[in-house]
Amino acid sequence: MNINLPSVGPPITGLNTESQKQGVESGGISQTFEKLLQDVNQQQLNAEAKQVELLVTDNKDIHGTMLALEKADLSMRLMLQIRNKLVSAYEEVMRMQV
């Protein structure tokens, strides 16, 4: 079983690799978070489509539907935790005295 979670940023494989430089320069945190939101939204839509398929068609793939639902739930929780960490870091920076 292979569960693909949305990526949060460039992979951390080594220091100062070319792919990491391109990932940082190309978009920053806002585009990374936007991509995360799009990935989570797509997984939510896929889970909803699986639910409708389970209810409407004769193809009763309960296993696939439950996997899609759990994957969407896990992705949403991950996204919320990342958002909470970002807000916490922002608040910490705002409390710093210069």
Output the tens digit of pLDDT for each of the chain's 98 residues: 455 555 544 444 444 445 445 554 567 888 988 998 999 999 999 999 999 999 998 888 899 999 999 999 999 999 999 999 999 999 999 999 87
Residue 16 covered by a domain: no
> Does 29 reside within a domain?
yes
Of residues 28, 84, 48, 89, the one with CA closest to residue 10: 28
> Is there a domain that residue 33 lies in?
yes
Is there a domain that residue 13 lies in? no
Give the residue among 4, 31, 9 at the shortest CA–CA distance from 19.
Answer: 9
Which residues, including other chains, have CB under 8 Å from residue 43's CB and lie 6 or more apart? 6, 68, 71, 72, 75
How many separate domains does the chain show? 1
75 falls within a domain: yes
Note whether residue 56 is domain-resident. Answer: yes
Residue 57's domain comprises 24-95
* Contact (CB, 8 A) for 50 and 64: yes
